[in-house]
Amino acid sequence: MAAVLSFLGLMAVTLLLVDAVLRAKFIGDSTTIVDGFYAEKKNDIDMIVIGSSNSFCTIDPLVLYENYGIAAYDFGSSSQPMNMSVLYLKEALKQQTPKVVAFEVNMLLSDPVSSRNESGLRWGFTDLPFSVDKLQGIYQSVGTVDAEYFSYVFPVLRYHNRWKELSKTDYTYFYKDKTNYTKGYLETQLVSETAINLGDYDSAGEAWIAEENIRYLDEIVRICEKNNVELLLFKSPKEGWYRYDTEAVRALAEERGLDFVDYNELYYLNALELDVTHDFRDAQHLNDFGAQKVSLHFGDYVKEHYALADRRGEDEANSWDKALLYRQRSGWQEFMAAANAKECLELLQDDGNYVLIVTDAAAGDANQLQQWVYEDKEVVFDRLWQESGLVHRRLGTDSELVLSRYGDLYQILIDGVEQYQAGSRWNIIVYDKITDKIAANLCFDE
């Protein structure tokens, strides 16, 4: 009996490992949103935003935190049908005790049948942990217990052929730090090629909301009431949303005593400034420029109507402080505009979170160059390469730096990828230990 149990245990562990490698990773979407949520400290989130991609492309938690001190997280998935929004709410409340749940209502007006497309279901179910609620949610979507049902329960059954397209990420992702430094928000500065039409908001028509979707909305209301959570409904700006849609949702909200904010209506009333040529990535989603504008309005509204603490300035840095620092260091930095190597190094030398790999190709004779590694505000490596050799160093949390010379060939490898840029006298590679990424790879002639 012991041997049988050991065998079954070994098989289970093997299946879990194979599943972790083979399952699809929706990086930048559901996988990193879900995993990042479960990486958060328990009972540390004050507001949770749920819904489809319209939710996590509209509300930027770091804008809310930086300007209002609101500790929010976008816990959604692309094309999320209403029954899955219920599931995500249930899962969220197992980990957190938020004061407010903000629900983006785009899918409330969807067709319950056509909204359950496979891609949306895979995005939504694949990364949620195993639970009775998940099994029930899958059954609601699939409608029967068959091979398709079990492919959602055990994703390896769906993705067993992915071995042909596996990358390094598939082997390393499951043991890496899952912290989501955007708090679930999808960053993008992509701008739609055509202007978005929000001008026909006042068109005539009639909204249709399926009874099934209303039942799921009522379930969301009941769950929030049971857990003493205030529920706020909102609608992101998008093409193809009309006044009659707003009025239909508002009627449901008023019947249930809920607040409802519609950013299509506010735009139409000139109460929200959006640039339809610049603030959208496509007809359905905002980009970073538009999301910032909506998030600022949203933050004003939430602070006025709900009692949420300002978490800025707490005794210890919280995860939003760290995420905000991560974002601030991920964009353009002053040193990137330096006119020469000396100016660049002077701008960088006092920041202990940068590691600098500096190469001077004019050192010594024509067959030599000099390299330095500058870390923790001091030179930790200095070599004038006169013969072939190889040096390994650790970078940040788990990256590897390799400096080498083979004959006349010089290389700088970071995690196996060539980074050295020949052709100029100076090559300065800037690695940021906060973001665990290369911040810049710069070349200067002097």
Partners of 404 in the beta sheet?
A: 390, 411
127-153 burial, b at 16+ Cβ within 10 Å, e below that, comes to bbeeeebbeebbebbbeeeeebeebbe
Backbone dihedral angles phi then psi of residue 390, each to the nearest 5 degrees: -145, 135
User: Helix, strand, or coil here: 275?
Assistant: coil
Q: What is the mean pLDDT of residues 94-122?
A: 92
275 CB contacts (<8 Å, ≥6 apart)?
289, 290
Strand ranges, E, within 206-278: 230-235, 259-262
Domains detected in the chain: 2-327 (3.40.50.1110), 332-444 (no CATH)
Question: What's the rounded mean pLDDT across residues 373-382?
Answer: 94
Summarised one tens digit per residue, pLDDT across range 184-208 is: 999 999 999 999 999 999 998 999 9
pTM, two decimal places: 0.86
Per-residue pLDDT reduced to its tens digit, 316-356: 889 999 999 999 998 889 999 999 999 999 999 999 999 99
Strand, helix or coil for residue 321: helix
Instruction: Express as a percent the part of the chain with pLDDT over 90.
Output: 72
Beta 417-418 vs 259-262: how paired, if at all? Answer: unpaired
More confident residue, 4 or 139: 139
- What is the pLDDT, as a whole number, of residue 25? 55
Q: Kindly report the CA angle at 376 between 373 and 379, in degrees rounded to 5? A: 35
